[in-house]
Amino acid sequence: MTVLVTGGAGYLGSHTCIELLNADFNVVVLDNLSNSNIESLNRVSKITNKSLHFIEGDIRDRDILQKIFTENDIKIVIHFAGLKAVGESCEVPLNYFDNNVYGSIVLFQEMEKAGIKKMVFSSSATVYGEPEKLPLTEDMQLSATNPYGRSKLMIEDICRDLEVSDSIIKNNCPWAITLLRYFNPVGAHESGLIGEDPNGIPNNLMPFISQVAVGKIKQLKVFGGDYDTVDGTGVRDYIHVVDLARGHVKAVQALENNLKGVTAINLGTGNGKSVLQLVKAFEQQNNKQIPYEIVGRRAGDVAACFASAERAQSILGWKAELDVNAMVKDTWRWQSNNPDGYC
Ligand code: NAD
Ligand code: UFG
């Protein structure tokens, strides 16, 4: 069975390509390399000893999509391609709506024309906005607090409208879409060959910690020490990227086995860890000191955010298996072997 992976050269996409190839899927990747390096896919082939078909191009390019759908017998699309930096999305919102929302519309239109209506979409816990209650369950109210989050919510809404359209216009090929809402993906493949390779100064906690560990940045700034949490620092549901990648294989298999309609599913562990708990785990497992100072809260941050992981278990038969020690060890193996990322 052949799967098209948009954004497959990126952090989550490259790890998912490994798990797909290991599960014997044929993989076609479409990526414009706007936030990735082709070397990630060379290494995917090295790790799996299998090849995939890479096409450099943009999801907004109809000609490329038509060519891909004509030349390959694609059955399911995993749609990772998108811009993902919250801060940047506030500065250039139109780029985010153009790339993420318009790009998804073009992709869905071309999929529909080609009769391909099964998809796994990269959504985010950001669609829950300010958590009303924890753990977060998929039926809770949705909202967005920035253009990036709004782009994810808009795409989710488009998918739900496609399901409504199927109920009005009855045809024999309805959409089947799984909206995977990721919590905080971290870590790297255990080979140390692929991992997260952010441009410039990282926005997210784990790549920031590992760049402090490798000596590129002097000190971690911990944003807020006065939250109502275990130690006053922010709590998140960190999930190992390899677990997340395996969740995608399960999602593809569920669609293959005829999971119907539009289904939102959290991919998280169900457990929260604080900033300082993550720092301590990194220090202990890797024998590295992470100098830090506690500074003011970061605008827009919530105190705590973690998933209910029950639906993933019941619908996909998936649960996270790798613990925080694996997350920090694998991150460090990648970072120390590749201090400058893929360059
Ligand atoms: P990433 O930037 O590493 O990967 C995204 C890939 O998509 C990149 O390789 C980029 O070059 C490609 N791309 C972007 N726009 C494109 C376009 N118009 N056409 C073709 N390719 C395009 O990001 P990631 O961390 O791997 O995230 C993958 C997806 O998961 C994104 O949609 C992101 O919003 C979502 N997500 C990520 C996280 C996270 O913490 N990493 C959390 C929640 C959701
Ligand atoms: N943090 C620091 N110092 C840093 C970076 C982060 O203390 O240098 C703290 C944050 O305040 C927060 C925690 O570490 O308490 C995690 O922050 P991240 O930036 O790593 O992750 P967020 O939960 O803030 O955001 C992530 C993704 C967003 C997504 C959101 C919800 O980056 O794209 O999860 O899914 F919208």
**Which of the listed residues 65, 80, 83, 127 should we mutate to test ligand 1's pocket, taking the one with most ligand atoms within 8 A of CB?**
80
> How far is 49 from 188, CA to CA, in rounded Å?
18
* Cα 265 to ligand 2 centroid, rounded to whole Å: 20
Residue 81 beta carbon below 6 angstroms from any ligand 1 atom: yes
Contact partners, residue 187, CB within 8 Å, separation at least 6: 195, 206, 240, 241, 242, 322, 326, 327, 328, 330, 331
Q: Which ligand is nearest to the CA of 33?
A: 1
Q: Which stretches of 11-146 are DSSP H helices?
A: 11-22, 39-48, 62-71, 86-91, 93-96, 103-114
Its pTM surpasses 0.75: yes
Measured CA to CA, the distance from residue 201 to residue 217 in angstroms comes to: 9
Residue type, 320: A
pLDDT in tens for each of the 343 residues of the chain? 999 999 999 999 999 999 999 999 999 999 999 999 999 999 999 999 999 999 999 999 999 999 999 999 999 999 999 999 999 999 999 999 999 999 999 999 999 999 999 999 999 999 999 998 999 999 999 999 999 999 999 999 999 999 999 989 887 789 999 999 999 999 999 999 999 999 889 999 999 999 999 999 999 999 999 999 999 999 999 999 999 999 999 999 999 999 999 999 999 999 999 999 999 999 999 999 999 999 999 998 999 999 999 999 999 999 999 999 999 999 999 999 999 999 8
Nearest CA to ligand 1 atom 4: 10
* Catalytic member of 11, 96, 128, 148: 148
Query: How many other CB atoms are found less than 10 A from the CB of residue 134?
Result: 18
The reply to whether ligand 2 has any atom less than 6 angstroms from the CB of 208 is: yes
* 6 Cα: distance to centroid of ligand 1 (angstroms): 9
Q: Which atom of ligand 2 is nearest to the CA of 234?
A: 15
Task: Say how many Å lie between the CA of residue 107 and the centre of ligand 2.
Answer: 29
- Beta-carbon contacts of 295 under 8 Å, excluding residues fewer than 6 positions away, are 221, 222, 223, 224
User: Which residue, 11, 275, 307, 81, is CA-closest to 181?
Assistant: 307
Is residue 128 part of the annotated active site? The answer reads no
Reading the block at residue 151, the tokens are 């782009």
Nearest to 6 by CA among 83, 78, 96, 66: 78
